[in-house]
Structure 1
């Protein structure tokens, strides 16, 4: 990063002082050029800071804080959309020949990087065993490609979003009412489809935003009389009822109540037309990651 921004790398202090003079937009722009692999880039993410640091923001592991109930013990809505991992980053992988070749020919080396377990303290044998289990679970001995595209989407979805949301819901539910959703409604527009110039509507990361508020300038507002408009009305009423009372009471017409999520009885509200409560969301996939 220092070299990309014309900073010296002779000492950490000089590098830090130089980077502090750079525009944040330039830092973010250059960040994308630093990669661990063909598709994914190195993230400069939040870190756990020492307690004696200047104005520290996060001094404890957020996971442990949630587990111990050290956060705000208030009602929580959390959830995911159907194919989170399509946008991040399965589509790009599947449409890059070199990436597909490496996924198939060098899985044990690539998987820990793209699925974020390369920095966990374990032996090479343990890491390889985890990689092999993931490959068998999602691809069942078949090559990674068009035929197994959903497996790659699901693996990215589960590692990046689904399991974290599922585990967060279970941990938080021990201290306050927790409600989990899975949005599957397509509508007639998708920001993912726009970005990748796809002919079909893809329900991936950020798809729910368009039904709650005006988001990107390219995203059209739902038109009156359409299913998208009806879905948006229901979703907004549901969120507003939660904001007012701490309980999502104004549920879709065909659903009497949103069944809370607990670690003993996981449940998700499938947001679609019609909506429905669904017990044990993605049970097999979530138990798989829990077992790793």
Structure 2
């Protein structure tokens, strides 16, 4: 009898969706009513989009530089038919960016309220890249849902505060730091409390982050604020375990921002009050001047281990030590890198005469900035070892130095941190490691002809999971990239459902073996699936030697 009832519910649900394809769906939540719209997936399936939903009150006025507040309920119907604003950053269209940016998007094939008796769908929660200072979760710019919505999931994409407004930290109660990460936690709590209204299962949430979003994912695994809010992690091309030394503040960076905006810095409290009075657009206008040289260091704003002022702390211990001890949420993980990662900065420095000359003349000073390590006296030999290993003697030139400089950027910013994360996390939980080698027609970086991809660089694998219109069109079923879209979305969705990408409904199956003790095995994702062992072993072993794990620390028993 119950199967007959369930069948009738499904038939009614399908009939409801068919009859309302062109209607603006309205969902009733505990916060108020939310009106969305209908969109079409890559394969022409209709789904429902609720975009620009506030998950926190605007972080303005007294809330600037402070933890977010839960969103207040509203009267009437919240219009979620289009993207909300991106967080403050340089933008070609200033109307695209606002300080009132703590918004999220929900994409679902179910209109809850009407279809609530159907089994809730697994949730993928996406955190965007951008070095903690650019990009967003907007569907029209950086995170189009059309590929993943051919899968049987609910997708959530979010914004979080960026730059100084999101990550300034003074080591005082005025600005303890980690605001952008706390925004992410608030969005996860919103999902916990409200995603069931959209047909999502709050007990099956997978964090999917790229670059800065992947670093965020790793931090959520150790944050006391995030515990219990997610159940699996997909961390693509970044991690929080690296050569970067985590501090309790970045007061010098805060003072630099204050000086650029004309605030005095002798008193931290007065400095923050002054910065709170500045228009949000001033932070975007001064962004480029915050960096040391040519938008470097790439990781300018960092997570901080917050001093305890009685506030809820996002990060209360060193990430590397936490993973080394097994002191983290032991959930299944997918993690990996692209074949070439950060080729762009290497070519950029070597083809720009001014930058190339500056790097030639001041390598000892610039290397710690570009490759993210402390230049203190105990590490004074690191710069020489890196130069000898990757660049050799003599002047830097494009033809002679491009590969070595590419390796330096790729390993320091992405490869080595991911290697260390997998090395440590796999001792305690299941980790599926990959190297993405598929080269399609579109890329984030090309040879000078602007037609030929340089290789498979940072972000290129993201092109087969989310639509990024300024980089590539939507791949249709006859495009050569279509197969890779099916492979990646299929494996990532299977992992979100089962914790195992091998459950994907694709041919051939990946036969992806998790990392084994004392074996650095990984899946090469290219034209074919190939299991291999030893991901850039020689290069990453060199970094392991330069930046050894903390002494007198032994892994806990899993």
Work out whether the TM-score is over 0.5: yes
Deviation at 1:168, TM superposition (A): 0.3
- From the superposition, tell whether residues 204 and 218 of structure 1 become closer, same or farther in structure 2 (CA, over 3 Å): closer
Which of 112, 131, 145 pairs up with 2:397? 145
Q: Which runs of 5+ in 1 are unaligned?
A: none
Which of 15, 31, 37 pairs up with 2:271? 15
Which of 404, 420, 423 pairs up with 1:167? 420
- From the superposition, tell whether residues 221 and 291 of structure 1 become closer, same or farther in structure 2 (CA, over 3 Å): same
Point out the more displaced range, 225-234 or 242-251: 242-251
Which of 139, 155, 158 pairs up with 2:411? 158
Q: Tell me how far apart the structure 2 counterparts of residues 31 and 280 of structure 1 sit (CA, whole Å).
A: 39
Which of 240, 259, 262 pairs up with 2:513? 259
TM-score after normalising by structure 2: 0.48
Point out the more displaced range, 142-151 or 72-81: 142-151
1:188 correspondence with 2:441: yes
Q: Tell me how far apart the structure 1 counterparts of residues 288 and 377 of structure 2 sit (CA, whole Å).
A: 28
Q: Tell me how far apart the structure 2 counterparts of residues 288 and 157 of structure 1 sit (CA, whole Å).
A: 14
Match of 1:244 in 2: 497
Match of 1:52 in 2: 309
Match of 2:474 in 1: 221
CA displacement 1:232-276 (0-9 Å, x = unmatched)? 111111111111111111467456511212451112211110121
Contact persistence 1:181–1:268 (CA under 8 A): yes
For 1:73-112, list aligned pairs within 5 A: 73-87=330-344, 89-112=345-368
Report how many aligned residue pairs link the two structures.
Answer: 286
Structure possessing the higher relative contact order (Cα contacts under 8 Å, 6 or more residues apart): 1
1:198 correspondence with 2:455: no
Which of 355, 371, 377 pairs up with 1:122? 377
Match of 2:282 in 1: 26
Secondary structure class of the residue paired with 1:235: helix
Point out the more displaced range, 69-78 or 3-12: 3-12
- From the superposition, tell whether residues 49 and 156 of structure 1 become closer, same or farther in structure 2 (CA, over 3 Å): same
Q: Tell me how far apart the structure 1 counterparts of residues 394 and 507 of structure 2 sit (CA, whole Å).
A: 43
Contact persistence 2:442–2:471 (CA under 8 A): no
Q: Tell me how far apart the structure 2 counterparts of residues 223 and 140 of structure 1 sit (CA, whole Å).
A: 46
Q: Tell me how far apart the structure 2 counterparts of residues 55 and 46 of structure 1 sit (CA, whole Å).
A: 15
Deviation at 1:187, TM superposition (A): 0.8
Q: Tell me how far apart the structure 2 counterparts of residues 197 and 57 of structure 1 sit (CA, whole Å).
A: 45
Deviation at 1:172, TM superposition (A): 0.6
Q: Tell me how far apart the structure 2 counterparts of residues 27 and 278 of structure 1 sit (CA, whole Å).
A: 46
Secondary structure class of the residue paired with 1:84: coil
Q: Tell me how far apart the structure 2 counterparts of residues 24 and 68 of structure 1 sit (CA, whole Å).
A: 41
Deviation at 1:19, TM superposition (A): 1.6
Secondary structure class of the residue paired with 2:322: helix
Larger Rg: 2
- Structure 1 runs, 4 residues or longer, greater than 6 Å off: none
Secondary structure class of the residue paired with 2:259: coil
Point out the more displaced range, 60-69 or 249-258: 249-258
